[in-house]
Amino acid sequence: MLRCFLANIRSVLSALIIVLLLFPLTRAVDTGATPAQTFGTKHQAGIRLGVWSNQGDTPPAGGSSGEFSFRTSISEANFYFEAYGALRLFRQLMGELSFGIVNRGSVTLNERDLTDVGNLMVYPLLVKVKFYPLGGLDLKWQPYLSAGGGVFYGRRSVQFTTASYYYSGFEEESSTKLSYALGGGVDWPIAQTIALDLDIKYMPIKYSDNLVAVSDYSAFTVAVGVKYLLFSGKK
């Protein structure tokens, strides 16, 4: 538990450092209005970096059956990347489309003298609405709540194999799940075209088929990001 907590802290700090390094590039252009005053009229596009914290089952570290054996290095906390675009519907409401990537760890399979080595990946593709309860006010900090859902694609891929020909014994595994995502966060406009954000969400991911011996890949993510603000003209 302590190791998982420390891994979460290290990942969040690393992502925060990256965002802070970008800060000198975000000087506001003087347009006669503050970033807070124009934030509620703009669309968004950006990236987030942070932590994927496992809330489901953990694949076993290894196992064997006859001439077949496997081992994994699946972590409880992993680095998470997300790219997104958000459309401003009203000052208090936005629609967001996001695509995320997390590498849960490596998986090695052995059968006789054949070995396959790959990674266990999860790709969330989400459509959400973001509600800004204080969006009608020109505040420096803009908290929001988010709700939505989408497709969670899980895959055990193979990047390396000792086989010199194709064989059907170790096909790559994959599974797809439709589910929801709930969360919230806060936006911080720091320039006319730049804002930072902190995003938190919970995603229950329970596949109908096992993927590396387990089916529950539910997760809790904490990520910080930087976004470009696009003018929409909404008042």
At 30 the pLDDT is 43
**Count of the separate structural domains present in the chain:** 1
Grouping H, G, I as helix, E, B as strand and the rest as coil, residue 25 is: helix
At 57 the pLDDT is 94
Closest by CA position to 131, among listed 184, 198, 203, 189: 184
Burial code of 157-168, b = ≥16 C-beta within 10 A, e = fewer? ebeebeeeeeee
At 160 the pLDDT is 72
Q: Give the span between the Cα atoms of 97 and 83, in whole angstroms.
A: 9
Closest by CA position to 47, among listed 79, 88, 93: 79
Grouping H, G, I as helix, E, B as strand and the rest as coil, residue 222 is: strand
Q: Could you tell me the residue range of the domain that residue 190 belongs to?
A: 2-26+34-231
Kindly report the length of the chain. 235
pLDDT 10s per residue in the chain (235 long)? 445 444 544 554 555 455 444 444 444 444 456 888 889 899 999 999 999 999 999 988 887 777 777 788 999 999 999 999 999 999 999 999 999 999 999 888 887 777 878 899 999 999 999 999 998 888 889 999 999 999 999 998 877 777 666 555 556 789 999 999 999 999 999 998 999 999 999 999 999 988 888 999 999 999 999 999 988 755 5
Burial class, 220, CB count within 10 angstroms (exposed 0-12 / middle 13-18 / buried 19+): middle
Strand duo 114-131 + 68-72: pairing: unpaired
At 32 the pLDDT is 56
- Cα–Cα distances (Å) from 31 to 23, 102, 191, in that order, read 19, 39, 10
Query: Residue 234 has which token pair?
Result: 């909404």
- Does the pTM of the predicted model rise above 0.75? yes
Contact 201, 51 (CB under 8 A): no
Q: Give the span between the Cα atoms of 183 and 201, in whole angstroms.
A: 4
- Cα–Cα distances (Å) from 47 to 89, 134, 182, 185, 224, in that order, read 20, 23, 19, 14, 8
In DSSP notation, 104-168 reads EEEEEEEETTEEEEEEEEEEEEEEEEEE-TTTTS--S-EEEEEEEEEEEEEEE--SEES-SS--S
CATH at residue 222:
2.40.160.20
